[in-house]
Structure 1
Amino acid sequence: MDLFGVVKLIHVFLLATVKYFITFPYALLIGLDKTQAIIAVTVGGISGFFFFYYLSTVLINFIKRNKIHAVHFSAKYLRVDLNRFIQKFKIKSPKSLRKRRFFVKFRNKYGFLGIIVATPILLSIPLGAFLLNRYYSRKKYVFAYMVLSILGWALIFSAITFVLAKPL
């Protein structure tokens, strides 16, 4: 494999860490072999889930710990009442409010397994990792279920590809 092929593999791997569903057709469109595409997309999706799950843990803990410090710092040194400032600009646009309502309804209706199954195809890997960490971090085998979901979708994508693929 030449350098350009390695760059394609890295590109597909990095794209799969964020948006798993569109990466497999994209990998085939840019000229990767079916086997290379399946491996790069699957490993990218699993790696992306682990990365974003632990990143969201760090961010959630950082925000919880430093929220009070930020309010005191802004009041003392910037002479800004941060709580009042946040409330003033907290008016939600209807679009962001609709997204939040969608995620809450989705979580309430489908729960843990819904998020697990829908993360690779409907939600993005970072969003699914954040939702799982935020609402189901104490649940056992979160990583195993998510890896099984990513592998299952990879199996479905590869089966569709091999069935619909035309011989050259």
Structure 2
Amino acid sequence: MSDPLEILSILATSMVKFAMSPFLSYKMGYSFGETLLFTSIGGTVGVLFFYRISGWLMRRARVARLHRTIAESHGVRKRRKAFTRTNRFIVRVKRGHGLEGLAAITPILISIPLGAVLAAKYFDHDRRTIPTMISAVLIWSVVLSSLWTVVK
């Protein structure tokens, strides 16, 4: 019988850092089908959870921005915006490829939490957002599970 803590750790890894979860699953001795199932469920739950919680996170960020603006008006020095390579990459994907591009890079290049928050921020109005994000997770689950089967 499978250890429930091992399965939970695979599910949790799939929710947060999806690209590592098939490797973890195979290292724990699970088969291709089990790996595919665990990573698909974990990634899907991660997308749904972080997409739903992102509204709360964005409200918190708005309040923090308001507090910074008030502090800056009272003489506190304004922080310079950090525009990193990662930020540029995400903006390029959003502008050039839209929702599909963001969904494609979320499980493998950026984390599911960050991808879900970005999807909620930029594509909340689009009813295809959640199905597209989940489809990308399922596709990457098949690809990565198959890849680790070959490497194993």
Q: Shared fold by TM > 0.5?
A: yes
Which of 3, 7, 10 is the matching residue for 2:8?
10
Which of 96, 109, 112 is the matching residue for 1:109?
96
- Return the structure number with greater relative CO, CA threshold 8 A, min gap 6: 2
Match of 2:136? Answer: 149
Match of 1:140? Answer: 127
- The runs of 5 or more residues in structure 1 that have no matched partner are 73-80
Q: Deviations over 1:126-163 (max 9, x none)?
A: 1110111111100122111111111111222333345x
Does residue 119 of the first structure (1) align with residue 103 of the second (2)? no
The correspondence of residues 10-159 of structure 1 with structure 2, limited to 5 A, is 10-64=8-62, 68=66, 70=67, 82-84=71-73, 88=77, 90-92=79-81, 97-159=84-146
Distance 1:120 1:86 in 2: 42
Please tell me the root mean square deviation across aligned C-alpha atoms, in Å: 2.7
Q: Deviations over 1:13-39 (max 9, x none)?
A: 001101111211121123233322221
The answer to whether the 8 A contact 1:116-1:128 is kept is yes
* TM-score normalised by structure 1 residue count: 0.76
The answer to whether the 8 A contact 2:16-2:113 is kept is yes
Cα gap change, 1:97/1:31 in structure 2, threshold over 3 Å: closer, same or farther? same
Cα gap change, 1:85/1:42 in structure 2, threshold over 3 Å: closer, same or farther? farther
1:112 Cα offset (Å): 1.4
Match of 1:75? Answer: none
Distance 1:158 1:85 in 2: 54
Percent identity for Structure 1 against Structure 2: 24
**Number of equivalenced pairs:** 152
Could you tell which deviates more after superposition, 58-67 or 99-108? Answer: 58-67
* TM-score normalised by structure 2 residue count: 0.83
SS at match of 1:88: coil
1:84 Cα offset (Å): 4.6
Distance 1:66 1:15 in 2: 29
Distance 2:75 2:89 in 1: 23
1:86 Cα offset (Å): 9.2
Q: Deviations over 1:65-93 (max 9, x none)?
A: 6755x479xxxxxxxx5125796251245
Q: Which runs of 4+ in 1 moved over 6 A?
A: none
